[in-house]
């Protein structure tokens, strides 16, 4: 419990995750490009930092949670970044979703300074981040992973060591294939039910207990039926993640036709001006294509 924790990236996911580390009794220093979240957590007892370098200079373990691969590279290896303030023995845990190859290159760069980098993307949305029940998939040296499990338990419920550096990001890419497919399937079944004149709510109730049961079917329909399409997990981030899936597939020569179609559906969603809505709001694309709205009477 004496370990000093740094958390960089206080967005929809990062802020509640940092807060849960504070609730677990850790001394937490925070940094974010936008200062509102920093001030909010500072008012709750966190220490504010002016740069990633300052976080590194005052932490034993640093978490990062950033939008994309270039952001993580900049925060870790750029000017006033973590690498400039780190020291041997430190651990950097990246909760972002980035390319596996980027995770491996950052790990190699930090290893030269005696610092361990764990790629540890998460799944479970803002609900899981707030509740501390996220699934965390980790890549990197197993002995270092074992040493930080008590810290990870403050933010997640299912904590899995997947393999060496980059393996956590591969697992997240696989996760996003399934999540994207579920969001598309949910949209299709809801619009099909509505278009045929059958109550979509009753359809959901009918199939939830059978082979179609999944996290998406359990969590998302009620919000959609209530007309709530805000995030959650923003559509443009889902689009970015599926782009990582396809980049990884091309790197390793893996055909992923279904994931490619899902990516195109999210591309359409972004082009329709719905980039900041929840990933389940993909149903809006189907409403446009099918000429039917979920909440029509």
Active-site residue list = 172
CA angle 278, 281, 256 (to 5 degrees): 90
What is the Cα–Cα distance from 29 to 41, expressed in whole angstroms? Answer: 9
Supply 158's token pair.
């299912």
SS3 129: helix
List the one residue out of 87, 89, 21 whose CA is nearest residue 7: 21
Cβ partners under 8 Å of residue 41, min gap 6: 10, 15, 18, 19, 22, 28, 30
Cβ partners under 8 Å of residue 157, min gap 6: 128, 132, 133, 134, 135
List the one residue out of 2, 56, 1, 66 whose CA is nearest residue 29: 56
The DSSP call for residue 37 is H
């Amino acid at each position: 419990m004496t370990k000093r924790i740094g958390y960089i990236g206080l967005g929809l996911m990062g802020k509640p995750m940092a807060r849960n580390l504070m609730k677990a009794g850790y001394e937490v220093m925070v940094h974010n490009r936008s200062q509102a979240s920093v001030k909010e957590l500072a008012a709750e007892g966190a220490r504010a930092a002016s740069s990633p370098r300052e976080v590194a200079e005052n932490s034993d373990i640093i978490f990062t949670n950033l939008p994309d691969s270039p952001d993580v590279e900049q925060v870790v290896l750029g000017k006033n970044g973590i690498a400039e303030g780190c020291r041997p023995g430190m651990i950097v845990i990246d909760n972002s979703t980035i390319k596996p190859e980027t995770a491996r290159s950052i790990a190699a760069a930090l290893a030269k300074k005696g610092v361990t980098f764990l790629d540890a993307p998460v799944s479970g949305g803002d609900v899981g981040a707030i509740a501390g029940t996220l699934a965390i998939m980790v890549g990197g040296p197993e002995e270092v992973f074992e040493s930080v499990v008590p810290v990870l338990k403050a933010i997640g419920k299912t904590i899995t060591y997947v393999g060496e550096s980059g393996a956590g990001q591969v697992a997240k890419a696989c996760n996003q294939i399934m999540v994207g497919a579920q969001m598309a399937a949910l949209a299709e079944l809801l619009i099909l039910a509505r278009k045929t004149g059958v109550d979509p709510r009753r359809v959901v109730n009918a199939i939830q207990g059978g082979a179609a049961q999944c996290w998406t079917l359990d969590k998302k329909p009620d919000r959609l039926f209530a007309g709530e399409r805000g995030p959650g997990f923003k559509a443009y981030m889902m689009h970015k993640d599926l782009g990582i899936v396809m980049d990884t597939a091309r790197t390793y020569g893996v055909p992923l036709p279904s994931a490619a179609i899902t990516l195109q559906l999210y591309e359409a969603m972004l082009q329709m001006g719905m980039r900041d809505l929840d990933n389940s709001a993909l149903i809006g694309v189907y409403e446009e294509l099918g000429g039917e709205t979920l909440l029509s009477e």
